[in-house]
Structure 1
Amino acid sequence: MERSDPLLALCGETRGHGDDDGCRRCHLDRALALGFSARNWGSHLDFGYFGFAVKRVRWVVGVFGAIALITGFILIIWFSAVFDVRTVKVTGLGPSSTQAVREALPDLTGQPLSRVTKEPIEQAVRAVAPEAASVTLQRSWPHTLVISVRPRIAVLNVRTPAGGQWADAEGVVFGPMNRPKHNLPLLIIGARQSRVDGDRQLAVLEATTVLAALPPAARQRLDSISISRPDQITLRLSRGVSVLWGDLAETQRKATILQALLPQKAARYDLSVPSVPTTAGQEKRS
């Protein structure tokens, strides 16, 4: 018997089935698995390319959708008033300086929060608060701009023929004129050092370097540092004690020697030549 039926063609023989109908039923599932159409048993449909095309279309649509979403989000953040400035906070300064900064700031209300730049704000802060060491901006979404100011910490009162200010540990002179802090030692810069900005700045740096190296026992008693020229630094401690420091050479060694000599309670210590330190007199009784 000729096997013109596609299902029968799948089977090489009919033995064990009894007839062609049995063979056809036996191999129906196999025919469907191979992709035969129910309407045309002789045609085989390959869905591989169609599936690939569908996946590719989905991928393209997803990419363009993501791009559109990101673009819309950027436009909203950068240009719209959805996230604009409505509140400005200033932190890190005292009440009077904070109020001065608020009055000096440019008008930020209504600007997109993401487009606020640091430079004009920092200039306004430094113009009215010279004690500001750094200025940072923080955006607290959706409508608050926080201006954080890190103030300088004064470690010395600085006195020059032009007046007095403060100096921080980095040697930066700042603060109002002639308003010394009573708990800080005084730096006295000679007239010659004060005439040139570079020399004055160098003197301040020398003083802060010595101050940082001093042992605690000497730092607590320090009343003043005098610098008449770069190689002549003199410290004045409480009870009338003076320390001739000399220049900045071997500063750490001089500090160690001073710590060892202080128990002698001398009135004068000469550390200008640290290999041959000398002492003289007795300090005043408290």
Structure 2
Amino acid sequence: MRAPKQPRKPHSLGVTSERHEGGEISRETVQRARQDAAPTSELSPDEAQRVAKSVVGKWGTPASTPSPEEPEHKASSEIAKKESRPKVTAPKLRLPRRRRKAPQRTELSARRVEKQAERRKLIAKRAAIIGGGILAVVILVWALLFSPLLGLKADKVEVSGLDSQADLTASQVQEAMTQWEGAPVLRLPSGDIEEGLVSTFPLIESVQVGGKLPNGANVTLSLREPIACLIEDKTCVAIDAEGVRIPVSEEATSELPHLSLAKGQDAAGEAATKMIDVLDSLEPDTRSQVESISVGEALQMTLELKDGAEVTWGRSENNEFKAEVLAVLMTQGASSYDVSVPSAPVTG
């Protein structure tokens, strides 16, 4: 399709065009149109559109066979047309934003929500079990270690280790245990109990204490063993190897060897200690044959046996060696033994 001709101002188209019989425009008309081709001033887009419409309506459609001079006119018309053509820019269209549709709850999402709910229930159940277990442990620890429900009762105490000849009974020990009544049986102060019983009863050498549910205790006593009877003011007091005075029955004291001190000697002095050392060095069979021990001047000791034999011991030196020699000599059945010099003993 051929582009429309360059629009012109209306006053430049005042000459009426005359067509010849062949439909061609006369040469004079073309020359006149060339002179008026260049616009005197720049047209606005609206004016250019109106001029174009008026030219098409007045001049009509150009003939199909152009004149030889038409190409030059056409070129100038095309240039003028390009210069006067309004620049129309298409407006930018802004499409409205599509709103995201809320995801529909499908079967998969419903199953996921169900699994999350089950997981929360499982976590809550585990937390409840753990919390209940911790609470139970706390209550059990409190009941066993701090509750008065499992406190000690003195009449539930069981005493063992007593000797029939000892001047001590189980009831006496239970009565002494009343000061620890109410203490949790699994947290009994064994150190305090041992110290208290030893100080109360000199016959007791050591104590072992163990709790016994629900309200009892086991008390095991280790008693001191008397090895001699120390004569003081016409009375006989039993003593052990450490020189501790211990209460025993009269039957037990009558079977012990008697220790006699010289005048002016203290029962807690060196003489008594030396006699105890000598007795402690003797073998049990030999010690049971000793009737008495006496201390003379310069701590010279003499032993009297139950069969009437006499043993010259001398000073408290080399006691173990002397005890071994005396045990051998007593098998001879002599009436006197002298082990003051154990390497050269004498019998009579």
TM bracket (short chain): 0.5 to 0.7
Give the distance between the partners of 1:141 and 1:67, measured in 2 at CA: 23
Following superposition, the deviation at residue 238 of structure 1 comes to: 2.8
**For residue 185 of structure 1, what is the aligned residue in structure 2?**
257
Equivalent in 227, 231, 242 of residue 295 of structure 2: 227
Which amino acid is 2:300 matched to? Q
Q: Does 1:133 align with 2:201?
A: no
Counterpart mapping for 1:243-254 below 5 A? 243-254=311-322
**For residue 340 of structure 2, what is the aligned residue in structure 1?**
272
**For residue 85 of structure 2, what is the aligned residue in structure 1?**
none
Give the distance between the partners of 2:265 and 2:324, measured in 1 at CA: 28
Quickly say closer, same or farther: Cα 1:68–1:228, change in 2 above 3 A. farther
TM-score by length of 2: 0.52
Which amino acid is 1:206 matched to? D
Secondary structure at 1:203 match in 2:
helix
Quickly say closer, same or farther: Cα 1:119–1:204, change in 2 above 3 A. farther
Following superposition, the deviation at residue 143 of structure 1 comes to: 1.7
**For residue 205 of structure 1, what is the aligned residue in structure 2?**
276
Quickly say closer, same or farther: Cα 1:89–1:114, change in 2 above 3 A. same
The structure in which a higher percent of residues are strand is 1
Pair member with larger Rg: 2
Give the distance between the partners of 1:206 and 1:243, measured in 2 at CA: 16
Counterpart mapping for 1:31-180 below 5 A? 70-86=137-153, 87-93=156-162, 97-126=169-198, 128-161=200-233, 163-175=235-247
Give the distance between the partners of 2:188 and 2:152, measured in 1 at CA: 9
Give the distance between the partners of 1:261 and 1:123, measured in 2 at CA: 44
Following superposition, the deviation at residue 153 of structure 1 comes to: 2.5
Give the distance between the partners of 2:169 and 2:200, measured in 1 at CA: 7
Q: State the percentage of identical aligned residues.
A: 27
Which amino acid is 2:159 matched to? V
Secondary structure at 1:181 match in 2:
helix
CA RMSD, Structure 1 to Structure 2 (Å) = 3.9
Following superposition, the deviation at residue 85 of structure 1 comes to: 2.1
Give the distance between the partners of 1:236 and 1:278, measured in 2 at CA: 16
Quickly say closer, same or farther: Cα 1:79–1:219, change in 2 above 3 A. closer
TM-score by length of 1: 0.61
Following superposition, the deviation at residue 90 of structure 1 comes to: 2.7
Quickly say closer, same or farther: Cα 1:62–1:277, change in 2 above 3 A. farther
Secondary structure at 1:136 match in 2:
strand
Following superposition, the deviation at residue 154 of structure 1 comes to: 2.1
Following superposition, the deviation at residue 200 of structure 1 comes to: 5.7
CA contact (8 A) 1:84 1:112 kept: yes
